[in-house]
Structure 1
Amino acid sequence: MGRIFITGSSDGLGLRAAKQLVSRGHTVYLHARNAQRASDARNACPGAADVLLGDLTSIEETKALAASLSKLEPMDCIFHNAGLYLGPYRAQAEGYPAVFAVNVIAPYLLTCLAPLPRRLIYASSDSHWGGSTNLDDFGWRERHKAGHFRESSAYADTKLYNTMFGFAFARRFASNGVVAHSVDPGWVPTKMGGTGAPGNINESERLYVMLAEGSGEAEGKNACFWENGKTSPAQAKKDAYDEKAQDALLKKLEDITGVRVPE
């Protein structure tokens, strides 16, 4: 059985997957942004090994979360599920909007600072098709100053970056025996997706469990993009496969955070 950590698992799809993984005998660590959410998570998934705290809008709290992971036995899987969707700019980590802090900066930091697991999974979205690899105004800070912040487009950028993480880290950590994937769970009825979302949440849950375990269709595979409703790896946006763009993204995040990708 495996040891699995899932970010953003105090509710929604992260919590649903955690419950399934616990029921399958895995040792599961949940994540919540504050003590109240942690209490809710413990009540909702009493079989979890523990709930780790960390507000992912904060670089310092994200680093502290990585330190908490470092005190535990290494994970078999770290599932980067936490994410923000639409909303105002809300300047957070280093002045970047909350959606970039949670969706991009936090998973980068956790990947670089926590002990490497056997599997790294990054939650993407079909919105990644609308994202851009142009880093000239990473985080939309200049466009925000000019009054041109577009929340849906900013979100799409973050999801393209999450997709790129799957390919980039699979390549960077190949010699360490680490597998990395990205996954589009689909538009499903969660707090983020809304009650009217048409997707099959049971299929999303199945995908999450499969990738966390490295089982089923995911067994033996690496550097894949997975999509709700498909039983084999799917095709992501062409830009996500661009290794120069991937490296530029990682360098941008290194410059922002002062944290390098480990060798």
Structure 2
Amino acid sequence: MTRILITGSADGLGRAAAETLLGDGHQVIVHARTSQRLTAVQDLLDRGAASVVGDLADLDETRALADQVNQLGPVDAVIHNAGVYSGPQVLPVNVVAPYLLTALIHRPRRLVYLSSGMHLGGRDTLSGLDWTGARRTGSYSDSKLFVTALAVAVSRLWPGVPSNAVDPGWVPTRMGGPNAPDDLRLGHLTQEWLATSDDPRARSTGGYWYHQQPREPHPAARSIPFQDRLLAELAAHTGTPLS
């Protein structure tokens, strides 16, 4: 049995992964932005899931969320699933929050970060970005390039912790829309597999995966100088270095 935190698990792929993993006998910690949003996962809580609450667009709430997780005890895996598609909170939610949670949650055995095929269109420049969300300076594609680079950077810095990025595909969730062509089950299968499987491939690190198959990410995601610049920017913004 594995204890797994899934951010952004009140709906969409996060909720689907939580439901599947709970059904498979794992301990699951679900996350919602507010306590009111926990009503969306009441059925999972009734089945034994634990819960944490915090707005990932807010640095203080993200820090408090990490404290809540640590108070629950060690986690075996974290699936950084939460994300937004548009608006000024794209960088805080999609990049800053997974960075800060990675830095603050007691080191798990595995890390999974939700990327997107759209990261291939991201810009590998960090100049002029507003990480606070006060104004929009980065696109969804940019944010997914950054979080993919984060996943690969963590795999380099923490060699004993498998860290991977996942493209879930364009699936019919609230974000993807009802006409999305990809398979919803395949959209959350890979992150569940990476978080729990004993398959040697699932225990590898530094990968970018699509439907349990490795793919090559944007070249910047594997660039150590780019990774280091990204980590330095995020450390300066949050006041929390990634040790």
Fold-level similarity (TM above 0.5)? yes
Residues in 1 aligned to 2:154 and 2:42: alpha-carbon distance in whole angstroms: 31
Structure 2 residue 61 is the aligned partner of structure 1 residue 70? no
CA distance in 2, matches of 1:130, 1:14: 24
Q: Would the aligned equivalents of 2:116 and 2:169 in 1 still touch at CA under 8 Å? A: yes
In 2: Cα distance, 1:179 partner to 1:205 partner: 18
- Corresponding residue of 1:259: 240
Uncovered stretches (5+) of structure 1, i.e. residues with no partner: 89-96
TM-score (norm 2): 0.94
State how far apart, in whole Å, the 2-side matches of 1:14 and 1:209 are: 10
Code of the aligned partner of 1:208? Q
Task: Tell whether 2:183 aligns with 1:200.
Answer: yes
What whole-Å deviation, never above 9, does each CA across 1:68-102 have from its counterpart, x for those lacking one? 1111221110110000002x3xxxxxxxx311110
1:177-256 to 2 correspondence within 5 Å? 177-216=160-199, 218-228=201-211, 231-256=212-237
How much has 1:45 moved relative to structure 2?
Answer: 5.5
Gaps of 5+ in 2: none
The equivalences for 1:1-263 within 5 A come to 1-44=1-44, 46-86=46-86, 88=87, 97-139=88-130, 154-174=139-159, 177-216=160-199, 218-228=201-211, 231-262=212-243
Shift of 1:208: 2.1
Cα deviation for residue 247 of structure 1 reads: 0.7
- Once the two structures are aligned, what percentage of the paired residues are identical? 40
Contact between 2:131 and 2:237, CA under 8 Å: does it hold in 1? no
Would the alpha carbon gap of residues 140 and 104 (structure 1) be closer, same or farther in structure 2, given more than 3 Å must change? Answer: closer
- Change in CA separation of 1:73 and 1:17 when aligned onto 2, cut-off 3 Å: same
Deviations 1:169-219 (A, max 9, x none): 011111xx2110000000000000000000011112221210121444633
Number of equivalences: 241
**Measured at CA, do residues 218 and 18 of structure 1 come closer, stay the same or move farther in structure 2, by a change above 3 Å?**
farther
Equivalent position amino acid for 2:107 in 1 = L
- Normalised by the length of structure 1, the TM-score is 0.87
Paired letter, 1:124:
S
Distance, in Å, in 2 between the alignment partners of 1:162 and 1:217 is 24
Moved over 6 A (4+): none
- Tell me the alpha carbon deviations over residues 211-238 of structure 1, each in whole angstroms, 9 at most, x when there is no partner: 121444633311100013xx43111111
| Corresponding letter in the other structure for 2:141 | A
Measured after TM superposition, the shift of residue 133 of structure 1 is: 1.9
Query: In the alignment, is the contact (CA less than 8 A) between 1:6 and 1:80 conserved in 2?
Result: yes
- Paired with 1:49 and 1:225, the residues of 2 have a C-alpha distance of 28
Amino acid in the other structure paired with 2:183: N
> Quick check: 1:122–1:162 contact (8 Å CA) kept in 2?
yes
Distance 1:23 1:140 in 2: 37
The 8 Å contact of residues 42 and 48 in structure 1, kept in 2 or not, is answered as no
Q: Please, what is the CA RMSD of the aligned residues?
A: 1.7
